[in-house]
Amino acid sequence: MAGIKSIGILTSGGDAPGMNAAIRAVTRSAIFNGFSVKGIMRGYKGLVFNEIVEFKSQSVSNIIQLGGTILKTARSQEFTTPEGRKAAYDNMVAAGIDALVVIGGDGSLTGAGIFAEEFNVPIVGLPGTIDNDLGGTDSTIGYDTALNTIMEAVDKLRDTASSHERLFFVEVMGHTAGYLALNSAIATGSEAAIIPEMETEVDQLAELINHGFRKSKNSAIVIVAENPKTGGATALAERVKKEFPQYDARVTILGHIQRGGSPTAVDRILASRMGEAAIEAILDGQRNVMIGTMNGKIVYVPFAKAVKHDKGIDRGALDLVKILSI
Amino acid sequence: MAGIKSIGILTSGGDAPGMNAAIRAVTRSAIFNGFSVKGIMRGYKGLVFNEIVEFKSQSVSNIIQLGGTILKTARSQEFTTPEGRKAAYDNMVAAGIDALVVIGGDGSLTGAGIFAEEFNVPIVGLPGTIDNDLGGTDSTIGYDTALNTIMEAVDKLRDTASSHERLFFVEVMGHTAGYLALNSAIATGSEAAIIPEMETEVDQLAELINHGFRKSKNSAIVIVAENPKTGGATALAERVKKEFPQYDARVTILGHIQRGGSPTAVDRILASRMGEAAIEAILDGQRNVMIGTMNGKIVYVPFAKAVKHDKGIDRGALDLVKILSI
Amino acid sequence: MAGIKSIGILTSGGDAPGMNAAIRAVTRSAIFNGFSVKGIMRGYKGLVFNEIVEFKSQSVSNIIQLGGTILKTARSQEFTTPEGRKAAYDNMVAAGIDALVVIGGDGSLTGAGIFAEEFNVPIVGLPGTIDNDLGGTDSTIGYDTALNTIMEAVDKLRDTASSHERLFFVEVMGHTAGYLALNSAIATGSEAAIIPEMETEVDQLAELINHGFRKSKNSAIVIVAENPKTGGATALAERVKKEFPQYDARVTILGHIQRGGSPTAVDRILASRMGEAAIEAILDGQRNVMIGTMNGKIVYVPFAKAVKHDKGIDRGALDLVKILSI
Amino acid sequence: MAGIKSIGILTSGGDAPGMNAAIRAVTRSAIFNGFSVKGIMRGYKGLVFNEIVEFKSQSVSNIIQLGGTILKTARSQEFTTPEGRKAAYDNMVAAGIDALVVIGGDGSLTGAGIFAEEFNVPIVGLPGTIDNDLGGTDSTIGYDTALNTIMEAVDKLRDTASSHERLFFVEVMGHTAGYLALNSAIATGSEAAIIPEMETEVDQLAELINHGFRKSKNSAIVIVAENPKTGGATALAERVKKEFPQYDARVTILGHIQRGGSPTAVDRILASRMGEAAIEAILDGQRNVMIGTMNGKIVYVPFAKAVKHDKGIDRGALDLVKILSI
C-alpha cells in the first residue's frame, strides 16, 4: 500500500504453537516484497516501553519448528489506557513503523481495533490461539497442535486407565469454547465430552458413563472443557463420585502443556500461508482485518466479526462421540 | 437400505495410519444402526480365500490410536481374475454379507467398482492412503499423519544439516502426487520441493540452492517426491553434485516409516467421521461411492471420479516455499 | 529347576511402561527353555478368582512397544486375607502352575514374599514401577519412560513459561522417592527440585527462585515430588505466592500421564533382559528373589531387601540443578 | 588449576544430540567456578580461523532441549597440519584461553591429544557421538537419543511390515560399532541384528529369517549396522533376495535423522554431569583426559585409551535378540 515502507510485528496474549512460524512468514514475505521489518517484544507492552528491534531474514531462521514465540508475549495494563496507547503510537512513529501485524487472540485483536481507530494505523491481525474461538476463520494457529498434545496425553492415560476399572476426568483448555474438548474426545475415543456450549446434567453423564461400563468396558475417560462457571473437571468429578462411589475416579488437569510444543504440520502450514497473506493484505490496501481461512481459502475478517465467536458447535460431532464409544 | 442386514469391512492396498480408526467407526456405527459386522482379513485376498471373522463392538476397542490395520492388507492377484472375484462373491454370500465397506486407495476402489458391477454388490469406499491422490475429497485418511512423520524426520535432519554446510535431498512418498513433498517442504521451511506435477530443470534447482547459500545459510534441504520416471532424490543428487562439487550433498530416503505411526488427531477425526458416513450412506441407499469431504462437509464420490486424481497442485504453495526460504 | 514345568506370570499394582516388554521376555524365554506359560489376569485378583489363560509365543507378539499391561493389573483386597491366598494357591495348583513371575512394585513383591512363604511357591519378581523406589537395583522398569514423559511435558511448559514472567510448579510422581523429580529437574534445566528426601524451607526456595529472576530469567520452573505430608505442588505454590505476589505462579499436576506411553529403549531393553533373567533364575533354582541390575549386571535381590527402599539421593545431583540453572 | 582463568569450548566431528546440554553444563559450571568462557565456532576450524565469541550464562539459556550444536561443528583440513595447529594455538593465546574443553568423537579427541602435546595446552574431552564407540566410558553423549530415534522409526515400520508378509532390512549408524544395531534390535523386537563385530553368513541369516516365518510371523525386520566393507543393508538385501524370492524384501536406510532430535533424559543428564565434571577435572589439575562414566561414576580416561574402542559386544545380547523373537 502506498506509503508503507516498514512493518512492525508483535505477538500478544496467550502464546500458541505456530506463532514463530507466523513471525517467520510475515517477516520473510515482507522482506521479499521490499518492506523493512521491526520486531516488537512482549506484545503491546513492548510498543508502550519501546522494545523494538530490527528484523532481518536471518532473525527468523530455524524457528518454524519452535513452540512459544521469540517475540515473547505479555498482557499490558498500560495499553488499556489512552496514555499508554499514545506512548505506543509515538514509539511506533519514532521507529518508522507504518503498519502493524498483530498475532493473537480476541483480546489482542480487540486492542488492535481500538488502536487502529484512535491513531489511524493500518493493522492486520493473525488468529493465534489454541482455543479456535475466533469468528470468520475455520481454524486458528495453534489449535491443531493443542489438539494433538491433548490426544497424546489422553492416549497415555488410556494405557493406565484400561489396566484398572477407572474413570478419568480430563480437563482441557478452550477458554469459553468446546472445540478442543469435543474433538479430542473424538480423537481419543473417549466416552464423553463436556463442553460449555451445552448444559450437562449429572444424570445425563451418569447414563453416558454407565453406558460405557455396561458394555463391559474396564475404563471410561470424560474430556471436560475448562469452565469457571461450573468448576470444570474437579467439580464435575466430585458430583459424579457421589453417584458412582464404586468407580475409582481420577482427575487430570492438563494445564499449560497444551500451550507449548513444536507445532504440527497443519499449524506450520496455516501460519505460513496466513503470514504471507497478511503482507498481501497490506499490499492490497487492506487494514484492520484479521486473516482467516474459509474452506481452505484465505479471507479477510473485520476485527469486530473476528472477536465475535459465533461458530457454534457441530451437534453431529457430539453424537459421534456417543456412537463410537458404544 | 432395505434388505441389508450384515456389512463386511476390509482394508486393501498400502496401509495408512487411521485405517484402524476407520474400521472402529464403521463397525460401531453399523452396530449402533442394527447391522451385524464381518471383518474380512487381508483385503480382497481374504474374501477370495474366505478369511472372514465376526466383529463385535469390542473387536475394535482400543485401536483408534494404532497405526497399520488390524484387518491386515494384501495385494490379491486372484481378485484380478473373474474366477477369483466369483469365489469372493460366493464367500461373501455364504457369510451372509449384504454390503461391503472398502478402505483403500485408487487400486482398491477400482477393484471395488468392477466387483460391484459384476455382482451387483452395494459397496461404499473410504479413501485410505497417505498419498492424498484421490479425486473428490479434500484429504485422504493417513495423509496428515504421513505429513507430520516426514516433518519430524526433516526437523531432525535440520539439526544436523545446520551444523555443517550441507545439502540434503530427502525423498518422500506420494505415488504420482506431490502433496506430501510440497506441504512437507512448507512445514519444514525447506529450500525447495521437487514434485511430479512440475518439470524441474537442474539449473532452476541450482538457482534455488545457490539462492539459499547466498543468503549465508549454512545448509539447504530439498524435498523430492518419489518418481520412477526421474529416479527421485538419488538421481537428482547425482546431477546436482556435478553442479555443486563444493557442497557436501547427502540423500535420505524416508521409505516405509511414512506409512506407520499412531495417527494424528486430523486423521483420527477424519476416519471417524467418514466411517460413520459410510454407514449413513448405506442407510441412504447409496452404493458404489467413495466417502469424501469437501470444505469440511461429507460428500459422495462415484468411484470413477475418485480414482481419477485431478486435484492439481496449488502454484501459490510452490511460491510459498521459495518466498519463505529466502 | 527340577519339577518346574509351567510358569505363571502376572502384573500387579500400578502399571508401568515396559511391563508388556517384560511379559513378552518372560513368556518367550520360558517357552524357549521348554516351560509352558500361563497368563494370570488382573494380578493377584486373577489368581484368587481364577482368571488364568494359556500363553503361547504369539500371545506376546507386537506388544513390546505398548504401554500399560496386556495382563491388566488390579489391587486385590482378597489376596490380603489367608482365605484369599488359599484360593489363589488352589487355582494355581489346579492350573498346573509350578512357579510364578510377578512384575510389580513394593506392595506386589511384599505380597509375593508372604505367598511364597505360606505355600512354599517358587516366585521370582521383576521391579515394575515408574518410581524407581526399590532396593537392590539401579533402576526399575518404567522409570526411564516416566522420566522422559515428564521431560517432554516440562519442555512444552518451558515454551509458554519463557513467553511470560512466569513461575511454574510442576508436580510429578515418585511415591516417597525423589528420583523422578530430581532427575527431571536436571533434564529440563529447571530452577529447583523439591523432594521428600530433603526438607525445603520456603525461604530457601525463595532464594532459589529469586536467584533465577535476578539473572534476568523471565521464567522459573520448580519440579515438586508428590508428597501427601507437605501437600505437594499446590500447597507449596500457595506458600510461595505469599512471598512473591509479583510473579504469575501456576501449578501443573502431571498425574497419570506419567504412567502411560510407549516405553523407551532403556525400559524395553531392561525389561527384556530382566525377563530372560527371571527364567534363568528359575532354572538356577533361585526363588523368592527380585531380579535387579547393579552396574549393568543382573543380580538377585531377596524380596525383603528389595522392598526396603534405601538407595538414598545423590546430593551432587541437587547441586547440579542449582549450578546449571545459574 | 593454578593459572587457568579462561576456558574455551568447542564441538567437533559429527554432531550428536546432547552436545548443547554439554555446552550449557560446561559454560555454567565454569562461570559458577569463576572462569570466563569462550565459545569456539565450527570446531577446530573456528580455532584456526579465529571464530571465537564471549560466552555468558545467558548464551546457553534454553538450549538443553535442542538437537545439534549451537557452536556448529566442521571437519578441519587445516588443523591436520602443523601450520594450522600453530595458527589455532596463536588465536587461542590471543583470545586469552588457558584451557580447552573438546566435545566430540575419536577423531576429535585424537586431534586434541596431538594439539595438547605440541603446545602443552590443558584439554579435557567429552565423549560426544551417537556411535558409543569410545573406550573407558559406559556410554557416550547422543547414543541413547539415537537408539530411541531408531526404535521409533522401526516401530513405524513394524506397523506397515506386519500388514504384509514383508522382510525389512533397516540400516542404522554406528561407525564400526554394533551397539546401535544390536540394542535397537532388542528394543524393537527385531528378528536379527547384523553387526560388524560378528561375521554373518547368509545361510545363518536365512535360518534366522525362516525361523521367524516358520513361527507364522507375517513379517521380519533385520537391523543392519552400516558397514562399508560388506555394503550394509543394501548388499545384504540383494544376497538374501536371491535366497528368498518369495518375500517382499525392502531396504530402509535411516541416515542422518539418527543424528538429530531433542536429546533424551539419559543424554541430557549424562551431558550435564559430564559437563560439570569437565570443569571439576580442570580444577583438579587434570589435563588431556576424556570424562567418562563407569558404573554410573565419573572417571578420567586418557585420550589414548578413549580412542581405542575396545568395549566389545555382549554375546548375551545377541542371544537375547534370537530368544525373544521366537
- Determine which one of A15, A90, A98, A131 is catalytic: A131
Q: Which residue of D has its CA nearest to B167?
A: D256
CA distances from C13 to A141, A169, C102, C277, C302 (A): 42, 21, 10, 21, 19
Give the amino acid at D275. G
Residues 227-286 of B with CB under 8 A from D: 250-253, 255-261
Q: With respect to residue C76, please indicate whether it lies within any of the assigned structural domains.
A: yes
- Report yes or no on D62 lying in a domain: yes
b/e burial code for range D180-218 (CB count within 10 A of at least 16 → b) = bbbbbbbbbbbbbbbbbbeebeeeebeebbebbbeeebb
Task: Say whether both D127 and D191 belong to one domain.
Answer: no
Asked, for residue C316, whether it belongs to a domain, the answer is no
State the DSSP string of A153-180. HHHHHHHHHTTSSEEEEEEE--TT--HH
Q: Which amino acid is at B141?
A: I
Cα C214 to Cα B298, B313, C163, D27, D154, distances in angstroms: 56, 53, 17, 18, 46
Q: Which of C259, C282, C315 is the last residue of a domain?
A: C259
Do A52 and A199 belong to one domain? no
* Domain contains C320: no
Please give the helix or strand (H or E) that residue C68 lies within, else none.
none
Same domain, yes or no: A21 and A130: yes
Report the percent of chain C where pLDDT is more than 70.
Answer: 97
Looking at the domain assignment, is residue B1 inside a domain?
A: no
- Chain D: closest CA distance from residue C122 (Å): 23
Q: Residue C102's pLDDT is what?
A: 98
- In whole angstroms, give the CA distance from residue C153 to residue C172: 11
Do D130 and D153 fall into the same domain? no
How are the residues of chain D apportioned to helix, strand and coil, as percentages rounded to the nearest 5?
45, 20, 35
Question: Which residue in chain B has the smallest CA separation from D168?
Answer: B256
Distance between CA atoms of residues C299 and D235, nearest Å: 41
Check B15, B131, B144, B267 and give the catalytic one.
Answer: B131
- How many domains does chain C fold into? 2
Q: Which domain holds residue B244?
A: 144-259
Q: Amino acid identity of A254? A: L
Q: Where would I find the beta strands (DSSP E) of C12-67? A: 36-40, 52-55
Is C65 an 8 Å CB contact of chain A? no
Does residue D135 sit in the same domain as residue D12?
yes
Tell whether D212 is covered by a domain: yes
Average pLDDT over all residues of chain C: 92
Cβ-based contacts of A66 with chain C (< 8 Å): 159
Of the partner residues B74, B157, B168, the one whose CB lies closest to the CB of residue D164:
B74
A137 and A150 inside one domain: no
B253 and B270 part of one domain: no
C309 assigned binding-site residue: no
CATH code for position B220: 3.40.50.460
Percent of chain B, pLDDT > 90? 75
Residue B320 lies inside a defined structural domain of this protein: no
Separation CA C39–CA C43 (nearest Å): 10
Query: What amino acid occupies position A310?
Result: D
Q: Tell me, yes or no, whether D325 lies in a domain.
A: no
Q: What whole-number percentage of chain C has pLDDT above 90?
A: 75
D155–C215: do the CB atoms touch at under 8 Å? no
How do residues C197-249 score in pLDDT, each as one tens digit? 887 777 777 777 777 666 656 788 999 999 988 888 999 888 888 877 777 78
User: In tens digits, what is the pLDDT along chain C, a chain of 326 residues?
Assistant: 568 999 999 999 999 999 999 999 999 999 999 999 999 999 999 999 999 999 999 999 999 999 999 999 988 999 999 999 999 999 999 999 999 999 999 999 999 999 999 999 999 999 999 999 999 999 999 999 999 999 999 999 998 888 776 889 999 999 989 999 999 999 999 999 999 988 777 777 777 777 766 665 678 899 999 998 888 899 988 888 887 777 778 899 999 999 999 999 999 999 999 999 999 999 999 999 999 999 999 999 999 999 987 677 788 888 999 889 87
The annotation status of D110 as a binding-site residue, yes or no, is: no
- Residues C115 and C237 grouped into a single domain: no
Q: Which residue has the cell 482467516?
A: A292
Q: What ipTM was predicted for this assembly?
A: 0.95
Mean local confidence (pLDDT), A39-52: 97
| Whether C45 and C130 share a structural domain | yes
Q: Mean pLDDT by 10-residue block, N- to C-terminus, for chain B (326 residues)?
A: 88 96 98 98 97 97 95 92 97 98 96 96 97 95 98 94 83 94 97 88 75 69 91 88 79 94 98 98 96 96 88 83 86
Closest Cα to residue C258, out of C71, C93, C102, C68? C68
Q: How many residues does chain B have?
A: 326
C56 touches chain D (CB under 8 A): no
**Which residue of B156, B165, B257 is in closest CB contact with D157?**
B257
The beta-carbon neighbor of A28 closest among B32, B147, B324 is B324
Q: What is the C-alpha to C-alpha distance for residues C224 and C170, in angstroms, rounded to an integer? A: 6
Say whether D157 sits in a helix, a strand or coil: helix
- Say yes or no to pLDDT of A212 above 80: no
Q: Do residues A187 and A132 lie in contact, with contact meaning Cβ atoms separated by under 8 Å?
A: no
Kindly state whether residues B180 and B226 are assigned to the same domain: yes
* Interface contacts C/D by beta carbons within 8 Å: 113
List of chain B residues whose C-beta atoms are within 8 Å of the C-beta of residue D259: 156, 159-160
Residues C122 and C11 in one domain: yes
Q: Is B131 an active-site residue?
A: yes
Q: Is the domain of D15 the same as that of D129?
A: yes
CATH number at residue C12: 3.40.50.450
